[in-house]
């Protein structure tokens, strides 16, 4: 197996900088669209043969150095007791949002092996077929809580912040249940064979640094502590470039960086004892191949002071992205980094 990605997670010397893309299995690939045209999104997530197929597609097409399990961060929320639906126009919808004590008390802590067995079966299929490491993942507790409280996506997260500020004990009870579920879910993925895990905190950036430290970070720290030394743990707090020093307190082996900060500034803020992941603006992939190559070179150079570097986008690849440009980016990372290996 090509273990370059795992070595980079650990800050070990690599022959080149490994690369993978968030949402690399997705709508920008015609091969994915062909599979997706036959089933709805949740059915795709819950059908191991199909989920494994679309997980492998970008590894074969893009030649990336890691695969990430095809699933969704909301998958473990459904067995906690919430009805989940994905709308093509509105995105995820969670019915009967969690707003009071009764609603929180009804939520159950899942047993992932029994409640989402399709995820584990997909993983077991993949580890037999892949020649690169497989990344498992979950949403971070705060991000999952926002969906559960708001009932879906939100512009201002008023209901979430009301619960945080007006009924902190209720908020803490909800977060503890979610945290226990995430730990169980990730442990089951590790037991099934994933080589690394990523915790996605997609909405961490809606919080002030003070509120991040008080209302989100302690739960992430509990999760990461549960897996320290078992497999590499990546924490990606999106839109949190202004509070990287607090993000580092998560204890993760690898910290994902979005494109809103120069990666050299992120490395300076974080220090040289952590691996960084990122941080190309996904829209750069709409540029010319020369532009893509130039920006790749800049990021590779800017990350040299870090303990290790995994190249990635600063967020998920966009559905309209030309496949040939994504391939060109991966090739540029491999070529340019191998000329002056870490």
Q: How far apart are the first and last CA of the chain?
A: 20
Please count the other Cβ atoms lying within 10 Å of the Cβ belonging to residue 143.
Answer: 24
Q: Average pLDDT in the 112-138 region?
A: 98
Band of residue 88 on the pLDDT scale cut at 50, 70, 90: confident
Please give the Cα distance from 278 to 257 (Å, whole number).
5
For the chain, what's the residue count? Answer: 342
Q: Average pLDDT in the 248-274 region?
A: 97
Phi, psi of 5 (to 5 degrees): -60, -45
Q: Which residues are catalytic?
A: 23, 27, 36, 72, 147
Band of residue 87 on the pLDDT scale cut at 50, 70, 90: confident
**Longest alpha-carbon distance in the chain:** 60
Please give the Cα distance from 216 to 206 (Å, whole number).
11
**DSSP per-residue letters across 49-70:** HHHHHHHHHHHHHH--S-EE--
pLDDT at position 340 = 54
- Give pLDDT tens digits for 38-73: 999 999 999 999 999 999 999 999 999 999 999 999
pLDDT at position 272 = 93
- Give pLDDT tens digits for 212-260: 999 999 999 999 999 999 999 999 999 999 999 999 999 999 999 999 9
- Give pLDDT tens digits for 304-329: 999 999 999 999 999 999 999 999 99
Band of residue 186 on the pLDDT scale cut at 50, 70, 90: very high
Please give the Cα distance from 33 to 44 (Å, whole number).
11
Q: What is the CATH number of domain 4-338?
A: 3.20.20.210
pLDDT at position 78 = 96
Helices 48-62 + 323-338 axis angle, to 10: 60
- Give pLDDT tens digits for 18-42: 999 999 999 999 999 999 999 999 9
pLDDT at position 151 = 96
The pairing of beta strand 275-277 with beta strand 134-139: unpaired
The secondary element (H helix, E strand) that includes residue 166 is helix 158-166
Q: Average pLDDT in the 90-114 region?
A: 96
pLDDT at position 255 = 98
The secondary element (H helix, E strand) that includes residue 211 is helix 209-215
Band of residue 339 on the pLDDT scale cut at 50, 70, 90: low
Chain centroid to CA 50: 20
Q: Average pLDDT in the 127-147 region?
A: 98
Could you tell me which residues come within 8 angstroms of residue 330 by beta carbon, excluding any fewer than 6 positions away?
Answer: 19, 62, 63, 64
Please give the Cα distance from 253 to 301 (Å, whole number).
21
Q: In the chain, what percentage of residues exceed pLDDT 70? A: 99
pTM, full prediction:
0.97
Name the average pLDDT for the chain.
97
């Amino acid at each position: 197996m090509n273990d370059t990605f795992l070595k980079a997670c650990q800050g070990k010397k690599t022959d080149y900088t490994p690369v993978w893309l968030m949402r690399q299995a997705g709508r920008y690939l015609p091969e994915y669209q062909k599979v997706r045209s036959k089933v709805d999104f949740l059915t795709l997530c819950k059908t191991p043969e199909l989920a494994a197929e679309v997980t492998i597609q970008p590894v074969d097409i893009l030649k990336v150095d890691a695969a990430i399990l095809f699933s969704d961060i909301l998958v473990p929320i459904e067995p906690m007791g919430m009805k989940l639906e994905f709308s093509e126009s509105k995105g995820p919808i969670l019915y009967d949002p969690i707003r009071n004590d009764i609603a929180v008390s009804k939520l159950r802590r899942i047993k992932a092996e029994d409640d989402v067995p399709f995820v584990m079966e997909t993983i077991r299929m993949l580890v037999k077929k892949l020649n690169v490491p497989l990344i498992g993942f979950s949403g971070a507790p705060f991000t999952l809580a926002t969906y559960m409280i708001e009932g879906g996506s939100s512009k201002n997260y008023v209901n979430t912040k009301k619960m945080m500020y007006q009924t902190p004990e209720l908020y803490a009870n909800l977060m503890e249940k979610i945290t226990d579920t995430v730990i169980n879910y990730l442990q089951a993925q590790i037991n099934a064979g994933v080589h690394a895990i990523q915790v996605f905190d997609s909405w961490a950036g809606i919080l002030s640094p003070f509120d991040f430290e008080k209302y989100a970070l302690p739960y992430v720290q509990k999760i990461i502590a549960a897996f320290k030394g078992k497999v590499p743990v990546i924490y990606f707090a999106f839109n949190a470039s202004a509070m990287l020093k607090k993000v580092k307190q998560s204890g993760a082996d690898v910290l994902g960086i979005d494109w809103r900060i120069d990666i050299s500034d992120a490395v300076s803020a974080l220090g040289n004892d952590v691996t960084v992941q990122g941080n190309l603006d996904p829209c750069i992939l709409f540029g010319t191949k020369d532009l893509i190559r130039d920006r790749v070179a800049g990021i590779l150079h800017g990350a040299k002071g870090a303990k290790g570097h995994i190249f990635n986008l600063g967020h998920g690849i966009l559905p309209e992205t030309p496949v040939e440009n994504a391939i060109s980016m991966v090739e540029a990372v491999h070529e340019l980094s191998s000329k002056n290996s870490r």
